[in-house]
Amino acid sequence: MEKFHNELEDLKKQVLDMGFHALDMLNSSIEAFKNLNIYHSEEIYSRKDKLLEYDNRNEEKALQLIALYQPMARDLRTIACILKMITYLTRIGRYGKDITNITTKELEGKIHIKKIVSIPHMMSIVNGMIKNALVAFDKSDISFLKDFEERDDEVDELRLSIFRECLTYMMESPANISICIAYIMIARYLERCGDHACKMAEKIHYMITGERIEIK
């Protein structure tokens, strides 16, 4: 079983690499959005192929480990967790691409309203949730998953706050409509990334403890 555990550890490292690649795509997309940098956005597009490569390769390796070694208990939970995580991480990276699409196609030539409402603060919370989930997975330590429900609630509240604030700006001037719609969409994407972080936290908690939790 030593060979199996070595291969499983290698797979976990690949999943972590994938996770930080997806998170970097999301962070970079928000930076491009904040600076309205459509040229930086082109670089983010190029990362989606590597994200897909991670997805396919890690899924194939996980299934191969099940077929070859028929793992049980904690080992099987780890592989099950990995199969879920690569799906959530792919979606997080793709939301980075979607935010990049908005910056490139909808915001070229525009200027930001106020201080981009609360999107940077929202991103900082989501970034922390994803990063904590990855560290918990790496270290098999559920202490990194604390307060996830409270943080997710704050992300949800920020999305609603951004929506209401944008409605006010749009009513003040029709010129604000297109950029406010972009803010609303980006806030929605970040909320979904927070949801994916919560789902990862649930699976990681089960992987470590064998107990299921629900982060509402």
Residue bearing tokens 């555990």: 5
Chain CA centroid to CA 91, Å: 7
Domain that holds residue 105: 2-209
Whether residue 216 is contained in a domain is answered as no
Q: Amino acid identity of 19?
A: G
Q: What angle do CA 204, 205, 207 make, to 5 degrees?
A: 60
Whether residue 202 is contained in a domain is answered as yes
Q: What is the pLDDT of residue 41?
A: 67
In percent, the amount of the chain with pLDDT more than 70 equals: 99
Q: Following DSSP, what letter does each residue of 20-59 receive, concatenated?
A: HHHHHHHHHHHHHHHHT-HHHHHHHHTTHHHHHHHHHHHH
Residues 32-68: tens digit of each pLDDT = 999 888 776 667 778 889 999 999 999 999 999 999 9
Do 82 and 15 contact (CB within 8 A), yes or no?
yes
E strand intervals along the chain:
none
Whether residue 215 is contained in a domain is answered as no
Tally of domains within the chain: 1
Q: What is the pLDDT of residue 44?
A: 78
Whether residue 13 is contained in a domain is answered as yes
Q: Amino acid identity of 78?
A: T
Residues 64-86: tens digit of each pLDDT = 999 999 999 999 999 999 999 99
Whether residue 214 is contained in a domain is answered as no
Whether residue 97 is contained in a domain is answered as yes
Question: pTM for this one?
Answer: 0.95
Whether residue 15 is contained in a domain is answered as yes
Whether residue 52 is contained in a domain is answered as yes
Tell me, what CATH number does 98's domain have?
1.20.58.220
Burial of residue 102 (number of CB atoms within 10 Å: 0-12, 13-18, 19+): buried
